[in-house]
Homo-oligomer: A and B are copies of this chain.
Amino acid sequence: MKLGTVELDDGTTTVVVETDSETVVLEGYQDLDALIAAGEDTWRTAAGQALNDGARLNRDEFQWLPPVRRPGKVLCVALNNSANPDRIKSGPDTPAMFTKPSSSLLGHGRSIIVKDMYGRVHPEPELAVVIGRGGADIAVDEALAHVFGYTIINDLTSPTMRGTDTFNYRAIHPAPEEAGGTRYVDSWVSYPARYKGADTFGPLGPWVTTAEDLPDPHALRITCSHNGRIVTDDSTANLRFSVAEVISFASHYLTLEPGDIIAMGTALKASAQGGAVQNVDLVELGGTVEVAIEGIGTLSNPVEKR
């Protein structure tokens, strides 16, 4: 089943059920945040009832919103692709993660806004997991039971702002030879709020495919296109850490809550004609960027320069 959140012409918002031919209103919930929080029994009953007798929407009567509008966190896994190992000179053997703020999320069809002061901005196509049942210290073999469903995220990134917000500095460390003393240690640290979290840097959707319709989230073709040309053509089979491994690992540090989003990391494999998302500078090129994942759909956003 596919469930999403839309804005109607009168400015109100509602959950919808998307079928192959129709977009059906699910009454009583203004977004998936609220429906997921209501629990599995409730959403299954409400969705079934909507399919029976819910109002049908015409395509010109609504706009898509991020299916979860204000998740507690959008947790993103970095460098999680099997194409990465030769690129990594040193790094963790566990998932490394950052968060994107909910204010960066954007619905399907809405405009990505870029500005000259952002420098370069490129797309990153990723599978996104939507948490249904929260929890901490979740075991790997229990992890998929916490998944509500899957959607698509375009983890927009500015390598220019990443470079700017990277420090080479002298970190203060304890001095082992002197009680209470300190010493400087040459360190690098980078801060992602701007380069990953600027407004509209998180296209999400169009909807969520519930977990029972995607029993194997690691066998899905994932592509990224710019102006109709396929740049990335990869498979979720190439994720280094699996959905279950990431959920389990993350939950030992950060309690997961219903509606939390986990972005699984960038698909990287070049398409047959070659390509790299790093060359798709949306500030210079504009156009329309699409991320498609088998069994979910296509997330498409035009770029608008301000």
Contact = CB atoms under 8 A, between A and B. Distances in A.
Interface of A: 70, 72-73, 75-76, 78-79, 84, 86-92, 94, 96-104, 117, 136, 159, 162, 164-174, 180-182, 184, 186-194, 197-199, 250, 252-255, 257, 274-276, 278-279, 281
A72 B102 contact: yes
B169 A87 contact: yes
A257 B197 CA distance: 14
Given A188-B190, A193-B75, A197-B254, A168 B89 contact: yes
A97 B191 contact: yes
Contacts of A164: 92, 94, 96
8 contacts: A73-B101, A76-B193, A79-B167, A87-B170, A90-B167, A92-B165, A180-B274, A189-B190
Given A253-B198, A254-B197, A101 B79 contact: no
Given A188-B190, A279-B174, A197 B99 contact: yes
Nearest to A180: B279
Contact of A103 (B72, B96, B186, B198): B72
Given A88-B170, A189-B190, 18 more contacts: A73-B197, A75-B193, A89-B170, A90-B167, A90-B169, A91-B167, A91-B169, A96-B191, A96-B193, A97-B165, A99-B193, A103-B257, A159-B173, A166-B189, A174-B279, A180-B275, A182-B276, A198-B254
> Which one of A90, A96, A257 has the greatest number of beta carbons of chain B within 10 Å?
A96
A252 B189 CA distance: 23
Nearest to A281: B174
Contacts of A94: 164
Given A97-B191, A274-B180, A91 B172 contact: no
A182 B90 contact: no
A94 B118 CA distance: 13
A78 B174 contact: no
B193 A98 contact: yes
A276 B191 CA distance: 23
Given A91-B166, A254-B198, A173 B73 contact: no
A274 B180 CA distance: 8
A167 B96 contact: yes
A280 to B, nearest CB: 10
